[in-house]
């Protein structure tokens, strides 16, 4: 593949090992210039809120957010509820991929209710699923 597909991707998962594996998979697929990782939805939201109004926000905001569902303190759906309240600029820029180990069909159906959720993938990321991304 020639060139990177995305400037920045963000991983949000409370499991640091999952974050590391997924980060390595994204690096190996060479689809992004930058990878941000967060082990909690709250810290990820705080980062997005701090960045969204900066003059260079467009170059710092993630193109894709890989979001886990089952996390303590704030789960993926609570993150999505807060994300919906963010500026139109960030909602337009950042596409969300639910990346989860959940096999619950209710989670899949619930994720469809959010406009920014473009894809639902099961963990772990595979080289094939990463290189086929087209968001």
- Per-residue pLDDT for the chain (135 aa), expressed as one digit of tens each? 335 789 999 999 999 999 999 999 999 999 999 999 999 999 999 999 999 888 888 889 999 999 999 999 999 999 999 999 999 989 999 999 999 998 899 999 999 999 999 999 999 899 999 988 888
Radius of gyration of the chain (CA): 14
Q: Is residue 1 part of a domain?
A: no
The conformation of residue 125, written as its DSSP 8-state character, comes to P
Among residues 39, 31, 30, 48, which one has the least CA distance to residue 11?
39
Query: Total structural domains in the chain?
Result: 1
CATH of the domain at 82: 3.40.50.2300
Domain assignment of residue 15, yes or no: yes
Q: Give me the pLDDT at residue 105, please.
A: 93
Does any domain span residue 27? yes
Report if residue 110 sits inside a domain. Answer: yes
Segments in the chain forming alpha helices (H): 16-29, 41-51, 57-60, 76-83, 88-93, 105-111, 127-131
Which of 15, 11, 39 lies closest to 25 in space, CA to CA? 11
Whole-angstrom distance, CA of residue 50 vs CA of residue 71? 22
In a domain, 120, yes or no: yes
Range of the domain at 120: 6-131
Answer whether residue 79 is part of any domain. Answer: yes
């Amino acid at each position: 593949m020639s060139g990177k597909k995305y400037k920045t991707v963000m991983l949000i998962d409370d499991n640091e090992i999952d974050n590391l594996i997924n980060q390595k998979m994204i690096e190996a697929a060479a689809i992004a210039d930058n990878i941000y990782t967060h082990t909690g939805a709250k810290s990820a939201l705080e980062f997005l809120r701090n960045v969204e109004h900066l003059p260079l926000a467009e170059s710092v905001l993630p193109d894709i957010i890989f979001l886990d569902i089952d996390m303590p303190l704030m789960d993926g759906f609570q993150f999505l509820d807060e994300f919906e309240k963010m500026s139109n600029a960030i909602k337009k820029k950042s596409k969300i991929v639910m990346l989860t180990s959940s096999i619950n069909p209710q989670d899949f159906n619930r994720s469809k209710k959010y406009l920014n959720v473009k894809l639902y993938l099961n963990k772990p990321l595979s080289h094939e699923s990463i290189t086929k991304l087209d968001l």
